[in-house]
Chains A and B, each alone.
Chain A
Amino acid sequence: MNRFVDIWDRAQKGQLVGEKDWNMGLFKKLSELTKKYDITRKKDEWINSDDEVLDRVVEAAVEFLSTTGVYCRDLGRVIRFSEEEVRQAIESAPSEVTVGTGGEQRTITHMDIEDPRPRHVLGAGHVAFSLKMIPKIVQNVVKLLPRIDYMEGFNFKEIEGKEIDNIGIASYAHIKSIEAHRHSLEQAGKPGIAVALYPISTSPICMTSPIGLENGLRPSDGVMLSILPDFKVESGFITSAIIYEEFGTRLRVNGCDGFCGGTFAGSPQNAIVENAAQAMAAWLCYGDVLHNVTVKHTDMMGCKFHLFGDISWASSVASQTAARKTNFIGLADGGYAFELGTLESLKAMALKIIRGTVSGANVWVIRNFSPPIDCGVSPMDILLAVEIADAVVEKGLTREEADSLVKDWVQELDGKLVPPKKGIRVTDVFDLENGKPLEPHYANYMFVKEELSKRGLPFH
Chain B
Amino acid sequence: MNKDEFIAELFDGMQELDEERIMKAVEGAVGSGVSFEEAVNDGLARGIRKIGDRFETGELFLPHLVMAGDLMDAAVEKLSGILSHEGETVSSSGTVIIGTVKDDIHEIGKNIVALMLRVSGFKVIDVGVDVPISGFISAAESNNAQIIGTSALLTTTQFEQRRLVEQLESQGMRDKYKILVGGGQVTESWREKIGADGYGKDANAAVRVAIDLVKE
Interface of A toward B, CB cutoff 8 Å: 19-20, 23-24, 27, 73-74, 128, 155-157, 163-165, 167, 170, 173, 199-203, 228-229, 234, 259-267, 297-299, 301-302, 304, 306-307, 369-370, 372-373, 419, 422
Contacts and interface: CB of A to CB of B under 8 A. Distances in A.
6 contacts: A165-B156, A229-B108, A262-B109, A263-B62, A266-B62, A370-B185
Contact of A164 (B57, B109, B155): B155
B58 A299 contact: yes
Nearest to A236: B105
A203 B109 CA distance: 21
B130 interface: yes
A304 B62 contact: no
A364 B78 CA distance: 52
Interface string B152-165: 01111111100000
A256 to B, nearest CB: 11
A264 B63 contact: yes
Nearest to A420: B201
A315 to B, nearest CB: 15
B61 A260 contact: yes
Contact of A163 (B112, B128, B153, B159): B159
B128 A370 contact: no
Contact of B58 (A23, A199, A203, A304): A304
Given A128-B155, A128-B185, A156-B155, A262 B62 contact: yes
- Residue of A74, A234, A302, A306 with highest tally of chain B CB at under 10 A: A302
Interface in B173-189: 183-185, 187
B63 A164 contact: no
Interface in B51-91: 56-58, 61-64, 66-67
Interface residues of B, number: 33
Contact of A200 (B57, B58, B156): B156
Given A261-B61, A301-B202, A369-B184, 10 more contacts: A155-B154, A155-B155, A157-B156, A173-B156, A201-B157, A261-B62, A262-B109, A262-B112, A265-B61, A267-B61
A200 B153 CA distance: 11
Contacts of B63: 23-24, 27, 264, 266
A27 B64 CA distance: 10
A188 to B, nearest CB: 25
Given A263-B62, A298-B112, A372 B156 contact: no
Contacts of A203: 103
Contacts of B58: 261, 297, 299, 304, 306-307
Contacts of A165: 156, 159-160
A266 B61 CA distance: 5
B120 interface: no
A228 B107 CA distance: 10
Interface in B91-130: 103, 105, 107-109, 111-112, 128-130
B76 to A, nearest CB: 19
Q: Is the interface of B mostly helix, strand, loop or mixed?
A: loop
A167 B202 CA distance: 28
A230 B40 CA distance: 32
B185 A372 contact: yes
A306 B57 CA distance: 9
Given A163-B159, A165-B156, A262 B128 contact: no
A170 to B, nearest CB: 5
Contacts of A298: 108-109, 112
Contacts of A157: 155-156, 158, 185
Contacts of B184: 369-370
A372 B56 CA distance: 24
A203 B130 CA distance: 12
Nearest to B163: A165
A263 B61 CA distance: 7
Nearest to A371: B184
Given A24-B63, A301-B202, A201 B154 contact: yes
B117 to A, nearest CB: 14
Contacts of A369: 184
Contacts of B156: 155, 157, 164-165, 170, 173, 200-201
Contacts of A259: 108
- Residue of B61, B111, B185 with highest tally of chain A CB at under 10 A: B61
Contacts of B111: 262-263
A27 B63 CA distance: 7
A128 B183 CA distance: 14
Contacts of A260: 61
Contacts of A19: 128
Closest 3 CB pairs of A and B: A370-B184, A266-B61, A165-B159
A163 B158 CA distance: 11
